[in-house]
Amino acid sequence: MTGLRVLDPGCGAGHYAAESLKLGAAEVVGVEGRETLLGAARERLGDGATSTITYRRMTLERFLSELLGAGFVLERLVEPRATGGARLVDPRRYDKTHSQPSFLAVRLRRG
Ligand SMILES: C[S@@+](CC[C@H](N)C(=O)[O-])C[C@H]1O[C@@H](n2cnc3c(N)ncnc32)[C@H](O)[C@@H]1O
């Protein structure tokens, strides 16, 4: 990760951001909708003091539409769901991930 610029959408309290910096990222931008989590992330890692990490509070929907507005092209959007076999292991959790999915992966490229 050395020298890379990392975007951490849904950064929460900044666990991945911290790990990215540890692995040598040159810059990290964390985007998160919940102020309490951003507060925890700022407390842990600072906010721009070292010019390597900044946080933006906004919804991921808005953030994505800003990227598209700036000319990025959405190549792929995946909302991972548990496979059928998971229902046998934990039916309650399986049903929850299908009725309330909470993870989204996107791939964008510059247009
Ligand atoms: C599963 S947590 C992951 C947190 C962090 N990446 C980590 O691993 O510790 C998902 C995060 O995305 C944020 N999030 C989910 N949907 C969002 C949305 N529509 N807009 C902004 N943030 C959102 C949640 O507040 C939460 O902090």
Number of domains, the chain: 2
CA distance 66 to 19: 26
Shared domain for 81 and 110, answered yes or no, is yes
Shared domain for 36 and 89, answered yes or no, is no
Shared domain for 66 and 81, answered yes or no, is no
Shared domain for 65 and 88, answered yes or no, is no
Structural domain harbouring 47: 1-70
Which residue's CA is the nearest one to ligand 1's atom 10?
10
Rounded to the nearest angstrom, the distance between the alpha carbon of 24 and the centre of ligand 1 is: 23
Shared domain for 82 and 66, answered yes or no, is no
Q: pLDDT digit of tens for each residue in the chain (111 aa)? A: 899 999 898 999 999 999 999 999 999 999 999 999 999 998 888 766 656 899 999 998 899 999 999 999 999 988 888 888 999 999 998 998 888 877 777 888 998
User: What does each C-alpha distance from 95 to 11, 72, 92, 101 come to in angstroms?
Assistant: 25, 34, 5, 10
What is the domain-level CATH number for residue 30? 3.40.50.150
Mutational pocket test of ligand 1: of 16, 29, 34, 97, the residue with most ligand atoms within 8 Å of the beta carbon = 34
